[in-house]
A and B are shown apart, each in its own frame.
Chain A
Amino acid sequence: MHMADALLSPAVGGIMWAVSAGTIALGSAQLRREQDDRQASLMGVLGAFLFAAQMINFSIPGTGSSGHLGGGLLLAVLLGPSASFLTIASVLVVQALFFADGGLLALGCNIFNLGVIPSFLVYPFLYRVLSKGGISKGDRHLAEPVPGGAPGKWRETAAVMISALVAMQLGSLAVVLETGLSGISSLPLERFLLLMQPIHLAIGAVEGAVTVAILSFVRKARPELLRRAPAGNAWRSRFAVLLAFLVIALVTGGFLSQLASKNPDGLEWSLSKAGGKVAAPGAGEGVHGLLAQLQEKSAWFPDYAVKRAAPRPLPRGAGALPDAASAVPGVVGTILTLALVCVAGALLKKGKERVETPDA
């Protein structure tokens, strides 16, 4: 479920980076306030644990496929929101740098989808409410762990399952929205949604089942571990602020990308505004308003292909079909540049080797 750089536009990627960076700053500040000197080593090794756990699989009966732990909810239950969020975010950073799961620009999206959602949305607003049931209205009481107040077994199971399902649904919804807003993929929004949500319903169910099983194991073996997670109520108010910030950022982002899309190209447009010079060789090729396009696609979705194939004028701004004469330089240039790059790389490498070999 990792979002990828290649599907992202700079605007969406940048906004999500800002949101995730902001959350990391808030989470770090929160940890500093808690001043628990055990926390650092615990979070570090639990992050490593999560990393290892995600590489171990189990077979799902009757399906022939296998699943593994995602771990967001598990960590939130064990560590509380801030610590679990930072732990997940750190795992994602390592995955981005070493396995390129996602990528650097998409890191912001991934941290949001897999970290912020389970730790700061689902855990405090859903899991704690469900697992503590009756007393959820009096938030203050929850701040102190209720002695012996472990939720009943069924209630706990239900709370974990529901939370895992919701976290996964929200996560995949976020992926769909981020992809859609970026407008690199042409997949219509609701097709994508119809594809992603059911898959993540299944993934969420698996995640829930694994989390329930591990938590009940821990509860039997070392129940005291489950009592140390801070309640995270302080987070609700703080998170409301963050959420407002996020909404504003998204609206601004949406507005900006719509604005940009009416012009040849976002970056070029703003540069030409700034410098007064338009250097847009590619501007003739079709550029579509991202949001407008999404809307339109969803409007005539069912017979999309038919209409598209009909000889109707090309929609907004798409340049006339380039004839062969103007296309040839592009193709020839592509091949030539590619060759040039390869040759340059090989020469550099050769040059390096030659510099080193003389003394051999």
Chain B
Amino acid sequence: MASISAALLDLKRLDQLASGTTFLHRLDARAKVLATLVFIVCVVSFDRYQISPLIPFLIFPAFLIAVGELPTRYLLGKVALVAPFAIAVGICNPYFDRQLLLQLGALRVTGGWLSFASIVLRTGLTVGAVFTLTALTGFPAICRALQRLGMPRPFALQLMFLYRYLFVLAEEGGRAAKARELRCFGRKGSGLKSYASLLGHLLLRTWQRAERMHMSMLARGFSGTFPEQVKARLRFADVAFLSIWVFLCIALRLSNVTHSVGALFTGLLP
């Protein structure tokens, strides 16, 4: 099945980006997670008809992508692929909200179109922020950061195990799906019956794997508790990054830079 191996490749690619060595990659994951959260909260806290004040926020992903040496086109493509749900709901706005909010010469812009554009922009910003975070930090580091920020240990462990076996299971499932696909012609044979039995087998094999893993853990002295992580302290660079970031986010939230730039520009014209 193309989709499962494609998704896996995509996952691996994003994961490998995290092995970069730039300044941003080396920052403490906690600083990056918190900065991303602040950024997202600031973006979504705008009123739904706002577009122009959201634009300056683009500087954040642009900065991260440039300094973190991330592949721009790849990330943009990923962002474009994502969030069909938000767009699907957003596209209804122009239909339901026909209140006239803006008039530019002959062009009359309704509230619905404004809020739709705002939703699209928000999607781009929030999704882009998440991808850059993942690409700059890597999943295991994000997990550890969340754990140090108070996420309960069993859940942190669960995330870690899940991530480790995603690759194994996705490959296994992908192989099984392919084997089925090769033997069903057209839509025949790809129905619920074969699906349930395929997943059932996969489930049982997964369960057996869990038993073997447990055995291998016991063989190495596992007694029910996992060893604690080594604690790292936040360095000056981490704190500085986070403070500057938060300050800028809030500043951009409170002042409409776009308007000022526009006013300045139009003011300069004769």
Q: Which residues in A have some Cβ–Cβ distance to B below 8 Å?
A: 1-10, 13-14, 24-25, 27-29, 31-32, 35, 37-38, 40-49, 51-53, 55-61, 69, 86-87, 89-91, 93-94, 96-101, 103-105, 179, 183-188, 191-192, 209-210, 213-214, 217-218, 221-222, 225, 265-268, 271, 279, 281-282, 285-287, 304-305, 308-309, 314, 318, 321-324, 327-334, 336-338, 340-342, 344-349, 352
Is B96 in contact with A48, judged by CB distance below 8 angstroms? no
How far does the Cβ of B243 sit from chain A's closest Cβ, in whole Å? 18
**Known: A5-B123, A53-B173, A333-B263. Is A99-B111 also a contact (CB below 8 A)?**
no
- Give every chain B residue within 8 A of A347 (Cβ-Cβ): 66
CA distance A54 to B192 in the complex (A): 14
Is B40 in contact with A329, judged by CB distance below 8 angstroms? no
13 inter-chain pairs at a CB distance below 8 angstroms, sorted by A residue, are: A6-B126, A38-B214, A40-B161, A44-B160, A52-B174, A97-B139, A98-B14, A101-B82, A187-B96, A214-B196, A331-B52, A333-B52, A333-B265
Q: Which of B133-153 contact A (CB under 8 A)?
A: 133-134, 139, 142, 151-153
Is B206 in contact with A49, judged by CB distance below 8 angstroms? yes
Main secondary structure of the interface of A (DSSP, over half): helix
0/1 interface trace, chain B 202-225, chain A, CB 8 Å (1 if under): 111011011101100100001110
- Give every chain A residue within 8 A of B14 (Cβ-Cβ): 98
**Known: A104-B130, A209-B192. Is A345-B63 also a contact (CB below 8 A)?**
yes
Is A6 in contact with B203, judged by CB distance below 8 angstroms? no
Is B257 in contact with A337, judged by CB distance below 8 angstroms? yes
How far does the Cβ of B20 sit from chain A's closest Cβ, in whole Å? 12
- Give every chain B residue within 8 A of A342 (Cβ-Cβ): 62
Is A222 in contact with B207, judged by CB distance below 8 angstroms? yes
Q: In the complex, what residue of chain B is closest to A213 when comparing beta carbons?
A: B196
CA distance A194 to B129 in the complex (A): 33
Q: In the complex, what residue of chain B is closest to A266 when comparing beta carbons?
A: B45
How far does the Cβ of B187 sit from chain A's closest Cβ, in whole Å? 5
Q: In the complex, what residue of chain A is closest to B165 when comparing beta carbons?
A: A48
CA distance A217 to B134 in the complex (A): 38
Quick check: is B86 within 8 A (CB to CB) of the other chain? yes
**Known: A24-B152, A213-B196, A281-B256. Is A55-B4 also a contact (CB below 8 A)?**
yes
CA distance A260 to B264 in the complex (A): 32
Is A345 in contact with B4, judged by CB distance below 8 angstroms? no
Main secondary structure of the interface of B (DSSP, over half): helix
Q: In the complex, what residue of chain B is closest to A42 when comparing beta carbons?
A: B210
Is A340 in contact with B261, judged by CB distance below 8 angstroms? yes
Q: Which residues in B have some Cβ–Cβ distance to A below 8 Å?
A: 1, 3-4, 7, 10-11, 14-15, 36-37, 40-41, 44-53, 55-56, 58-59, 62-63, 65-67, 69, 72, 78-79, 82-83, 85-86, 89-90, 92-93, 96-105, 111-112, 115, 118-120, 122-123, 126-127, 129-131, 133-134, 139, 142, 151-155, 157-166, 168-170, 172-174, 176-177, 187, 190-204, 206-207, 209-211, 213-214, 217, 222-224, 226, 253-263, 265-266
How far does the Cβ of A348 sit from chain B's closest Cβ, in whole Å? 3
- Give every chain A residue within 8 A of B226 (Cβ-Cβ): 40
Is A94 in contact with B163, judged by CB distance below 8 angstroms? yes
Is A56 in contact with B173, judged by CB distance below 8 angstroms? yes
Is B173 in contact with A89, judged by CB distance below 8 angstroms? no
CA distance A348 to B4 in the complex (A): 36
